Each structure stands twice: as structure tokens, then as C-alpha cells.
Amino acid sequence: MAWALTPLTEEQREIQRVARDFAMHEIAPHSAKWDRDAYFDPSLVEKLGALGFLGMLLPEEYGGLGLDTLTYLVALEEIATVDASVAVMLSVHNSLPTQMILRWGTAEQKKRFLEPMARGEMLGAFALSEPEAGSDAASLRTQAVRDGGDWILNGTKAWVSSGTKGDVILAMARTDTPDDRRGARGISAFIITPELPGYSVGKKEDKMGLRASPTVQLHFSDMRVPGNRLLGQPGSGFIYAMQSLDNGRLGIAAQAIGIAEAALRYAASYAAERKQFGKPIKEFQAIQFKLADMAMRVASARALLHMSATAKDRGEHMTQFSAMTKLLASETAMAVTTQAIQIFGGYGYVKDYPVERLFRDAKVTEIYEGTSEIQRIVIARELYSH
Ligand code: CAA
């Protein structure tokens, strides 16, 4: 069962219960079908908005719940134990676009976007990567050029989660010029909405896992963006994206731990029922050792996540903690789902049982919001940076 490093408060337990009940009643009955059909149910956004879950980290003045980071992550883990596709939609929306507008937006931008985002009337997305710029995010090529008071954007963004439904997309584009390239400092952040002329949704990826979370390319073709959609300072967009990913990576860690927790529970109960050689397989040490290692990994990853959540709320520098937490949690998800399949044997390899989906969903947590290799680079760099 989920536990915290320090006991959760009554309010935290209440939010956890709300998340669990919502996941059991509104998500669990549909998850297998949504996965099979690669279907994203738009009514979920409305329902999660009504619950306050799309404004978990926003202050009450913008219609948010104003939760602390630990409470948010505990709720996110609960949702992820049932459906990791729903969890990534929540994680991206709550950790990236809403937080970017809250932190760097003008009063006008906050008023225009944050309340509808908190209510679930607008879903947020984050567009940093491009077909040729993945781990090397600063090499992105989407170009923004000044035209009077507006900007004209051209380029293609890739791997955009919630992209078919994205109503407010925080997109990074170059604002330096070919004659004066400034690397990471030549990138700015823009608030994009789908009605802008020149915006179109491109290829929807046919993914191994997280199939109920639509991942798309976005095309900007001479897209005219009003000047008041620039976020913060020109040339600071890459820094904003990196600082925001320090938050986002905690959300992905909570998602990964939810996946691992679910795999552990399914494997433990299957091992108690499944009989071979005349007794339940949980009686065999080979299985006990696997379950013990799985439980230990989940507990360790959760402990680090909860420590990071409280460090973040104390205002500590999060780059290294976030990278460590995401790395441990995603490798835990992969290791635990792999062992869960092994415990299920052949039944783990077919779609009749949910561990097969958990295994597919786990893999991407080692890839998106920075691969495990990038997390190791970030952790190692931070060792020498202070
Ligand atoms: N916080 C604040 N500033 C940061 C920072 C951070 N965490 N990381 C870097 N910066 C700053 C640096 O200090 C530097 O600033 P100065 O110009 O003042 O020196 C500037 O940003 C450039 O930094 P680097 O020189 O370190 O840049 P780099 O090109 O070497 O790249 C990297 C660093 C860590 C490899 C980075 O590119 C990275 O994180 N790559 C992975 C990208 C990623 O996570 N993509 C995920 C996309 S979102 C997604 O997955 C989809 C989804 O919707 C779920």
C-alpha cells in the first residue's frame, strides 16, 4: 500500500481518496478499451476539471486548489496506478503550461488562461522537442520572426502529449536570427492556441504504450502569433523550459511509481492464487525474492519522490533531485513491470491481464521529459556546479 515518508495529513489523505475513487469509478472500467482503441476521452478533461485536478498547483485566486507538491504527486500516483495515459495528461498540464504561465506570464496572460485551464475548459500541452531535436533540445529550429507587433512562426514540434486536444500549448521557438545565433539563449516561449492561422495538428503517433494519450506533431506554417503571446523575456524560453522540466520530471516519477505499484499489487495477488507443483507460487522462494525486490524498489522510489516534493516546497534547487527521482522511478517502473510479467508467465504476455499494458506504459517513462541518459548527465553535471 502507498505510504509517505512522513504520515500524510488528513487533507492529503482526503485528496488521495478522491483521486482513488475517481480512478476506480471513472477510469478503470474503460482503461483496457481506451488502450486497445488508442482513444482519448475528452469528457475526462471536463470531469477532472470539475474535481479541481486540472488546477492542483494553481493558487485559489486562479480557481486552483493551491495544493502543496506532495499532495499533488500523491494524487497523481493514485491515478497512474489505474491509467498512466490519464496521469501523463494531468502531469503535463499541472506541471508545465499552467506553471509556466503562473511563473512568467503577465497579469493579462494569467487572467486569460489560468482560470479556464484550472476549470478544465482548456487543456495545456508543452512543445519543446522537434523531429531533429530530442535530447539536444537547444538545437530546435522552429523560427519566430517579428512582423510589426506580431510574430510569424514556422516549424514542426514533435512528441506533443495531449496534442490533439491541446488548447494552450507552450511552444519554444528561436527568436535569434541566422546572422546572430545565440544557442540556448536564442529561444523564446510562446503561448499558442489552435485557432491561430497557420496552426495544424499533424501525425498522431501509433505508440507502444500510453495509447490513450494522444501524442502528435504540431505544424506552424506562417503562423501569426500576437505579440502578447510571448511568455516572459525573449531569449529565456529554453531556461524556462528547463526549469519547468525540473517540476515536470517529478510528475513523471509519480506516474512511474503508480505503474510500478499497480504491477506489484497484481503480481502479489496473482502469486497467491496461481498454483503450480501443488501450491500457490508465492510459497516458492524464487517468487518471494522477486516480490521482495519489487516492493523494495517501489518503496525506495516513493521515498525519494516524497523527499523531493518536500524539498521543492521548501524552495530548494531542484535540478539534481528531480533528475534523480525521475531516473530512479522510471527504472523502477521498468524493472517491476518486467518482473510482474515474469511472475504471470505466459499470462503476463497476453492482453487478458493488465500487466502487459503496465509494461508497455512503463517504457516511455525512461524516455520522455528527458531520457535516463539525460538524467544521468544532469545529475553528474550538478555534482560540479556549486
Ligand atoms: N534550470 C535552469 N537553467 C537551466 C537548467 C535548469 N534545470 N538546465 C539548463 N539551464 C540553463 C543553463 O544554465 C544554461 O544557461 P546559460 O545560458 O545562462 O549558461 C542554458 O540553460 C543552456 O544549458 P546547457 O548548456 O546545459 O544546455 P545543453 O544544450 O547542454 O542541454 C540538457 C542541457 C540537460 C541536455 C537539456 O537539453 C535537456 O534537458 N535535454 C532533454 C530534453 C527534454 O527533457 N525533453 C523533454 C521534452 S517534453 C516531453 O517529453 C513531452 C511531454 O509532453 C511529456
Domain ranges, residue 319:
239-382
Q: How far does the centroid of ligand 1 lie from the alpha carbon of residue 6, in Å?
A: 32
**Nearest to 128, CA basis, from 92, 74, 80:** 92
Residue closest via CA to ligand 1's atom 47 equals 369
pTM: 0.97
Which pLDDT value is given to residue 294? 98
Q: How far does the centroid of ligand 1 lie from the alpha carbon of residue 370, in Å?
A: 9
Amino acid at 138: A
Which pLDDT value is given to residue 4? 52
> At 7, is the pLDDT very low, low, confident or very high (cuts 50, 70, 90)?
confident
3-state secondary structure of 65: coil
Q: Which residue has the cell 482503461?
A: 31
Give yes or no for residue 366 CB within 6 A of ligand 1: no
Distance between CA atoms of 329 and 320, rounded to whole angstroms?
Answer: 14
Shared domain for 250 and 376, answered yes or no, is yes
Domain CATH code at residue 112: 1.10.540.10
Which pLDDT value is given to residue 301? 98
Quote the number of domains for the chain: 3
Q: Is the pLDDT of residue 221 over 90?
A: yes
Q: Is the pLDDT of residue 94 over 50?
A: yes
Q: What is the pLDDT of residues 167-185, one digit of tens each?
A: 999 999 999 999 999 999 9
Shared domain for 105 and 205, answered yes or no, is no
Q: How far does the centroid of ligand 1 lie from the alpha carbon of residue 240, in Å?
A: 9
Which pLDDT value is given to residue 165? 87
Q: Which residue has the cell 519489487?
A: 294
Give yes or no for residue 246 CB within 6 A of ligand 1: yes
Q: Establish if 72 belongs to a structural domain.
A: yes
Q: Establish if 1 belongs to a structural domain.
A: no
Shared domain for 184 and 101, answered yes or no, is no
Cα 51 from chain centroid (whole Å): 19
Q: Establish if 146 belongs to a structural domain.
A: yes
**DSSP assignment string, 194-223:** TTSTTEEEEEEP--SS-TTS-EEEEEEEEE
Catalytic (active-site) positions: 369
Exposure pattern of 215-232 as b/e (b: 16+ CB <10 Å)?
A: bbbbbbeebebeeebbbb
> At 6, is the pLDDT very low, low, confident or very high (cuts 50, 70, 90)?
low
Contact (CB, 8 A) for 344 and 67: no
Q: What mean pLDDT do residues 234-240 have? A: 98
Shared domain for 117 and 66, answered yes or no, is yes
Which pLDDT value is given to residue 302? 98
Residue closest via CA to ligand 1's atom 48 equals 369
Q: Establish if 19 belongs to a structural domain.
A: yes
Residue that finishes a domain, picked among 236, 254, 287: 236
3-state secondary structure of 367: coil
Shared domain for 142 and 105, answered yes or no, is no
Amino acid at 239: I
Q: What is the pLDDT of residues 270-298, one digit of tens each?
A: 999 999 999 999 999 999 999 999 999 99
Number of neighbours of residue 163 by Cβ within 10 angstroms: 27
Q: What is the pLDDT of residues 202-218, one digit of tens each?
A: 999 999 999 999 999 99
Q: Is the pLDDT of residue 5 over 70?
A: no
- Per DSSP, the chain holds a count of helices (H) and strands (E) of 12, 10
Shared domain for 143 and 226, answered yes or no, is yes
Q: How far does the centroid of ligand 1 lie from the alpha carbon of residue 137, in Å?
A: 7
Q: Is the pLDDT of residue 1 over 50?
A: no
Q: Are strands 168-174 and 124-127 parallel, antiparallel or unpaired?
A: parallel
Residues 6+ apart with CB under 8 A from 171: 127, 128, 142, 153, 157, 189, 190, 192, 218, 220
Residue that finishes a domain, picked among 215, 236, 257: 236
Q: Establish if 279 belongs to a structural domain.
A: yes
Shared domain for 214 and 254, answered yes or no, is no
Residue closest via CA to ligand 1's atom 23 equals 184
> Percent of the chain at pLDDT above 70?
98
> Percent of the chain at pLDDT above 90?
97
Question: Rounded mean pLDDT of the chain?
Answer: 97
Residue closest via CA to ligand 1's atom 21 equals 239
Q: What is the pLDDT of residues 29-50, one digit of tens each?
A: 999 999 999 999 999 999 999 9
Q: Which atom of ligand 1 is nearest to the CA of 243?
A: 1
Q: What mean pLDDT do residues 119-129 have? A: 98
Shared domain for 36 and 160, answered yes or no, is no
Give yes or no for residue 116 CB within 6 A of ligand 1: no
Give yes or no for residue 185 CB within 6 A of ligand 1: yes
Q: Which long-range contacts (CB under 8 A, 24 or more apart) does 235-238 make?
A: 235/175, 235/176, 235/182, 235/185, 235/186, 235/187, 235/188, 236/104, 236/185, 236/188, 236/189, 237/172, 237/173, 237/175, 237/187, 237/188, 237/189, 237/190, 238/137, 238/138, 238/172, 238/184, 238/185, 238/187
Q: Which residue has the cell 500516483?
A: 77
